[in-house]
Every structure is written in structure tokens, then in C-alpha cells.
Amino acid sequence: MDLETNNEHGWLTLLLVAITTILIWYFRFCRDVVFISHESRHSNEIGTQDQSTVSCCKNSDCVRCQRYRYVQERARRKLSWILRDLEARDPSAFSMLNRRIPDAILQSEKGKDYNKSHLRDGGAAHLTSSLQKPTVLMVLDLPSKEIVTEWHRNACSYLKERQTRAIVSKALASLGHGEICGETGVVEPRTPSSFSMVPTNDSEWIRNDSLGEWRVFQILNQGVWNPILLNKDHGRPCRDLLELVREIPGLLTDSLFGNVFVSKIYPGTIIEPHCGPTNIRHRLQFLLKLPDGRQDARNHNADANPTPRLSLSVGNEEKIEWVKSNDAFVFDDSFIHSVTYQEKASSRNNRRATTSIEISENQGLRSKDSSSRIVLIADLWHSGLQDVETRLLKDLYPPYSSSS
């Protein structure tokens, strides 16, 4: 009899434990649903406010413009188990990990204002600029300013010391895009048809503009290498380009925050004010070609055959101009930035009077491409990050995948 009573008590205890466990999990599930719903509404409000000051593109795969909420939520879901895994695999590295990245992710989860002060370990308060509005991740305890070329001198020197212009030009020429620049930075056409950088095989160039004409050729796109360049059938020039890019000191790889591309814009183009997705990266621009092969892109007086004004604005740094004597610089693209390429009045009038069919003629293409500005753009890790932090960021924000 006592045995039967004990068995009944045992079963009742197990049943109560099971019911209690189910209720606890149900409560947590309901709480998470309510929280996510609230967070979604908050994100929508923030997104609406940001759109009034910065622009976004229509690319459905763009992390900065369209997928940032998903990327934020995925990183938050992964954070705790990635930290536990790091602690188990490498206790020493885990003990050295600065809390600023986990804190930034958790702060975004709670909907805290990025522009509020944040206390560093030593107690000094840091304020982020109202002009710094990354859409995905803002790490408050990282040094920041608009132009950071001096923090990445090794990357700039690396590209200057190599035949970067020739390597890029030969690789694109091998893909049917014509030579865009020689070692002097001046366009060197082989034939009128090869001179155009809008060739018959134009599918690899992405039109990325809303006002004017801006085209990009992706080498590394949100952490994914261009399969066209990886194709061994395309020969040595493409392999040389990949080798050149992969060895850039501090290159941001193995993460969706990393991009490398050739960027080409034409007169009359305005790249509207926008912010990058995060301040854990910096963006290097290496000049490949200036308009008309000139030594700079500034306005000159009318007697000197003026070229259109071409400038970049970043935060409070306005009208930064590309010049041959200073052909590499690095900026923090988490600050609001924009590019303006003003058109000559004569060119604008000619363009209005010319039909699209006439523009497609070789002479029109030569004139058009001679006025283009072309740069190589590469994303670099913020120089203030720890090695263990870059490992954490790669795990939290892996390369883009259409299935992820």
C-alpha cells in the first residue's frame, strides 16, 4: 500500500513539474512576442524619422536600406549563445572581450537612443554626433570622426605602391569593359568601341543611382566574392585583381558589412545624403580616374576649359575633392555623406538636345566616359577593434545569403 502511495506521489510530482515547465515556457514565449511586436513598432517609428533626413535605395537585399531590421534581430537572437560558445572554446579571449559590442546590440534591443551618452570603463562620457546614424549597429565606445585616413595609412600605402590602376583596368578589360585607366590614371582606349565603360556586356555593372548616373562593379558584395571573378576561365587578370584586393591591410571580410567595388559616376549625378550600416567599419576610396585625365576635379575659369565640380561631403566635412596628388583617403561612412558631380552648362544643354540613340554612338560614348570619375572603394575594419571583437562581429553578421 505504501509503495502504491509513493508511486502516486511520484507521478503527481512529475506531472506538476511538467505543467510548471510548460507554463514558464508559455509565459516567456508570450513575453517575447509582445516585446518583438513593441520593438517592431519602435523600429518602424525610428525608420520613418530617419527617412526624412537620409535617403535609401530600392535594392531589396541591401543591408543598409531594406534588411537592417532583420539583421538587427538575427544578431540579437544569436548573441547569447555565441558568447557562451566563445567562453567555452576560448576562455582567455572571452575574458579580454570588451563589452561595447554586446552592449550596443542590447541597447538597440531596448530601443535606447543612440545619441545618448555612454560611459566608458574609465568613466568618460562619449556623445555620438547627430550626423552619425548607422542603420544596423552603432558601437558608442569607438573613436569616431569623419576623415580617418591617418588611421589606415598602411592600406593607402599598399594600393599606392602597387600597380592598382593597371590591375583593375586589365581585369575589367578582360571581362569586356575596356580599359578604364592606365598607370597614369588617364583613360587609354584601344579602340573607340572598347573605350566605353558601358559596353555591350553591361550586365555585371549595377546601376545604383536615382539622380544622374552612378554605376558600380562589385568585387566583394556584403561579404560575398563576385563569382564572375572567381571563375577560373576568366584568366590571370581577374586572379590578379582578387589577389590585390584580398591583401589590402585591414580589409573587412567574412561579414555582410564588407564591400569592395569599382564606382563610376558621370556629370549631373547626385548621390543623396545617406549613412552606412555601422561604425565598426571605415571606407577607403582610391582614385582610378579623374574626368578628362585632369590632375583634379575642381572648377577652373572659363578660359581654362573648366571641368565640372565633383565633391564628397561627410558630416561636417564639406566638399572634399578628389585630386591626383592625394589619391587615397578613408572616411567613416556611418556619418551622413553625399556626392555631387555638377554638370557643365554646355554639357547639360547638349545632353538635352541629344536623343538616347545619338548618345549610343561611339563619339558620344567617348565624350561621356571621358567625363566620368572612377574610384576603387574598399571597406576596412575600424582600427580600434580588438581581434576578438572582429571574430564576434563575423559570427553575428556573417556574409549575406539569400537563404538566411
Residues 216-267 have pLDDT tens digits of 999 999 999 999 999 888 889 999 999 999 999 999 999 999 999 999 988 8
pLDDT of residue 198: 35
Burial of 309 by CB count in 10 Å (0-12 exposed, 13-18 middle, 19+ buried)? middle
pLDDT of residue 271: 87
Distances (CA, A) of 205 to 201, 215, 216: 9, 6, 6
Residue 353: CB partners within 8 Å, gap ≥ 6? Answer: none
Would you say residue 373 lies in a domain?
Answer: yes
Rounded Cα distance between 282 and 332, Å, is 5
Give residue 277's domain range.
149-381
Q: Of residues 100 and 38, which shows the higher confidence score?
A: 100
Q: Of residues 101 and 39, which shows the higher confidence score?
A: 101
Phi, psi angles (nearest 5°) of residue 9: -60, -40
Would you say residue 311 lies in a domain?
Answer: yes
Q: Of residues 13 and 121, which shows the higher confidence score?
A: 13
pLDDT of residue 213: 82
Would you say residue 363 lies in a domain?
Answer: yes
Q: What is the CATH number of the domain that holds 220?
A: 2.60.120.330
Rounded Cα distance between 215 and 115, Å, is 34
Total domains in the fold of the chain = 1
Would you say residue 68 lies in a domain?
Answer: no
User: What DSSP designation does 234 have?
Assistant: G
Would you say residue 277 lies in a domain?
Answer: yes
pLDDT digits (tens, 9 = 90+) for 158-193: 999 999 999 999 999 998 865 555 433 333 333 222
pLDDT digits (tens, 9 = 90+) for 286-323: 999 988 655 454 444 444 444 447 888 899 887 788 88
Q: Is the pLDDT of residue 8 over 70?
A: no
pLDDT digits (tens, 9 = 90+) for 22-48: 665 555 444 333 333 333 333 333 333
- Which range has highest mean pLDDT (15-19, 109-113, 164-168)? 164-168
Would you say residue 185 lies in a domain?
Answer: yes
Q: What grid cell was written down for 149?
A: 585616413
Distances (CA, A) of 80 to 83, 93, 141, 373, 392: 5, 16, 21, 45, 11
How many other C-beta atoms can be found within 10 angstroms of the C-beta atom of residue 346? 9
Q: Of residues 382 and 27, which shows the higher confidence score?
A: 382
Rounded Cα distance between 404 and 396, Å, is 13
Burial of 149 by CB count in 10 Å (0-12 exposed, 13-18 middle, 19+ buried)? middle
Q: Of residues 47 and 367, which shows the higher confidence score?
A: 367
Lowest-pLDDT choice from 63-67, 276-280, 360-364: 360-364
Q: Answer whether 334's CB lies under 8 Å from 151's CB.
A: no
Would you say residue 127 lies in a domain?
Answer: no
Rounded Cα distance between 404 and 398, Å, is 10
How many other C-beta atoms can be found within 10 angstroms of the C-beta atom of residue 141? 17
Rounded Cα distance between 343 and 309, Å, is 7
Please report which confidence band the pLDDT of residue 66 belongs to, taking 50, 70 and 90 as the band edges: low
